[in-house]
Structure 1
Amino acid sequence: MNDQDMTIKIAEGDGFIAALDQSGGSTPKALRAYGVADDEWNGEEEMFAKIHEMRSRIITAPSFNGDRVIGAILFERTMDGMADGKPVPTLLKERGVVPFLKVDKGLEDEADGVQMMKPIPGLDALVARAKDLGVFGTKMRSVINSASPKGIAAIVEQQFEVGKQILAGGLMPILEPEYSIKAEDRAEGEVILRDEILKQLEGLPDGQQVMLKLSIPAVPNNYKALVDHPKVLRVVALSGGYTRDEACDELAKNDGMIASFSRALLEELRAQMSDDEFDAALAEAIAAIYTASTQKVTA
């Protein structure tokens, strides 16, 4: 797939984007959920080797292909790694899956009800390297914990500022200002978030687009204006702590939003499974998330 093919696949393809981008801080928890205990690895290199084994098993499974999975978000080490004897981005594209790269370096401490992204040193060089490896886009996450107009405006401004830098490097940015599903004022705050994103979109030059990764809204279709906006290539949803069944039920109420799930995709997978059991469990998850992304219901 060339850049035009990947743009069309992401803009128009039926399916969802798999989030396989757990980073250093969340990797031990992800491994435990997968059935790999802490005493089965020693040190960061062995930890990342274990998580790479898990991700390689996922992306080489028969059910993981471009028929239902249109994209995959990778951790940097996964992007640089090999699977089935090939560079991971190359293998994904051969299977019809568009590769993305997580580029953020974690979160600042909370201020004004939000957690901004930490600085991303070397971003231009990382974007250039990812592009050379055939990656289509990037993803970066920050978090909103309360309906603070000042905090939400700042977090959206930062996302767009870095997004423009990524666009200048030739990749498609996924902006992810996650709204915590635990926040009691989420419905109110998500209106503020939507309107701040719309303001920033108006400042993008004509012909440029971004993607958005947002929590499934408390009020269905709150983000429909973003889904329909000409400067938004696609709006994807994170599972945000919901179980897969919960996330799928909520996502199906939102027209035009597709999934970009991590935990909700992987929750039934275990290292101890046979290859057939593993692929059957993965196929079941893919089918459920695909259905929620493509078959909508009235809220």
Structure 2
Amino acid sequence: MHDVKMMAQIVGGSGFIAALDQSGGSTPKALKGYGVDESAWSTEDEMFGLIHQMRSRIVTAPSFSGQKVLGAILFEKTMDGDADGKPLPTLLWERGVVPFLKVDKGLEDEENGVQLMKPNPGLEALLDRAKAKGVFGTKMRSVINAANQAGIAAIVDQQFEVANRIIDKGLMPIVEPEVNIKSGTRAECDDILLTELTRALDALPDGRRVMLKLSIPVKADHYASLVAHPRVARVVALSGGYSQDEACRELAKNRGMIASFSRGLLQDLRHGMDDATFDSTLSGAIDQIYDASTSNCA
């Protein structure tokens, strides 16, 4: 059973979802962008400690609240950590921000133009732990590099098989089949993905819904039918390597889609900023992404 207030905010709220779920492979790059060089840590635990400090500073900043940030996607170690003496999911919801958890374990090598998710034998135990901590939903990522119908169908099938296991645990799955924005067949990937997602959504039983996290399509409003689909709670967009300005400009062309940005939110934040400058910079990013997410949702 989903929390009614959280569900109402995610389905009908005005704002966007912050992606704060960089995992082991992407953490060094995220820290470097934040102004923390690899020489600052010598072990993986120290590295994760530094990224936790960054995320804690973000979620406790005055501008980070449910007024414009509907939800936040956390990495597992972040979910298990504290900020201001409180568990992160608890702190987020006290600030009006719905907590989500990244649950995939990374990507397989490319085959048929796509990268499926790696096996995740501990998923059910992780979902139980997340539910107990007050997490509302999950996110899992696959990657599409080429317009291969069989490969894209396999990604969608895998995503929805796992999504149903997540729904069984009373959590809301965010299905994320990312189309690589550098793909030479990107528009064709969008077309195939739309067909395959529609097929999978139509097959969901009554009472089951998912969220979709998609790359911003080449053609504006390409995913309008997914936004309106009765089995879709919300369609959110990833920044996918776009800068903040580029991502917001492209997102605003797509009615009903809201942002779920990582780089597009964090790119101008730096470790050495004083608290006032840090919050002012974060507030500016939040305002820009909020505007792009709401200007197209009339």
Normalised TM-score (structure 2):
0.98
Residues of 2 paired with 1:189 and 1:178: CA distance? 10
Q: Which amino acid aligns with 2:21?
A: D
Q: Tell me how far 1:102 sits from its aligned partner.
A: 0.1
Runs of 5+ consecutive residues of structure 2 not aligned to the other structure: none
Task: Quote how far apart the aligned CAs of 1:296 are.
Answer: 2.5
| Pairs within 5 Å for 1:232-251 | 232-251=232-251
Matches within 5 A, 1:139-158: 139-158=139-158
Alignment of 1:256-267 (within 5 A): 256-267=256-267
**Residue equivalent to 1:231:** 231
Note the 1:131-142 alignment, pairs <5 A.
131-142=131-142
Q: Is the 8 A contact 2:265 2:285 kept in 1?
A: yes
Identify the residue that residue 10 of structure 1 maps to in structure 2: 10
Question: Displacement, 1:231?
Answer: 0.3
Cα offset, 1:90, TM superposition? 0.2
Q: Aligned residues: percent identity? A: 66
Distance in 2 between the 1:44 and 1:188 partners? 40
The alpha carbon displacement at 1:284 in A equals 0.2
Deviations 1:245-277 (A, max 9, x none): 000000000000000000110000000000000
CA distance in 2, matches of 1:155, 1:101: 20
Decide whether the 8 Å contact of 2:259 with 2:289 is kept in 1. Answer: yes
1:27 aligns with 2:5: no
> Is 1:255 aligned with 2:255?
yes
RMSD: 1.1
Cα distance in 2 for residues equivalent to 1:287 and 1:16: 10
Could you tell me which amino acid in structure 1 is paired with residue 207 of structure 2?
G
Name 1:170's counterpart in structure 2.
Answer: 170
Instruction: Write the deviation string for residues 130-180 of structure 1: whole angstroms up to 9, x where unpaired.
Output: 000000000000000011001000000000000000000110000000000
Matching residue's letter, 1:217:
P
Give me the whole-angstrom Cα distance separating, in 2, the residues matched to 1:35 and 1:162: 36
Aligned to 2:221: 221
Alpha-carbon distance between aligned partners in 1 of 2:126 and 2:96, rounded to the nearest angstrom? 24
Q: How does 1:36-185 map to 2 (within 5 A)?
A: 36-185=36-185
Q: Which whole-Å CA distance do the structure 2 matches of 1:158 and 1:194 have between them?
A: 16
Question: If the length of structure 1 is used for normalisation, what is the TM-score?
Answer: 0.98
Shift of 1:189: 1.4
Spell out the pairing of 1:281-292 with structure 2 (5 A cutoff).
281-292=281-292
Mapped to 1, the partners of 2:282 and 2:119 lie a distance apart of: 35
Q: Which segments of structure 1 move beyond 6 Å, counting only runs of 4 or more?
A: none
Partner of 1:154, secondary structure, is helix
Any gaps of 5 or more consecutive residues in structure 1? Answer: none
For residue 271 of structure 2, give the secondary structure of its aligned residue in structure 1.
coil
Q: Residue 273 in 1 paired to residue 261 in 2? A: no
Task: Give the C-alpha shift of residue 41 in structure 1.
Answer: 1.0
Q: Which amino acid aligns with 2:247?
A: A
- Judge conservation of contact 2:99–2:135 (CA < 8 Å) in 1: yes
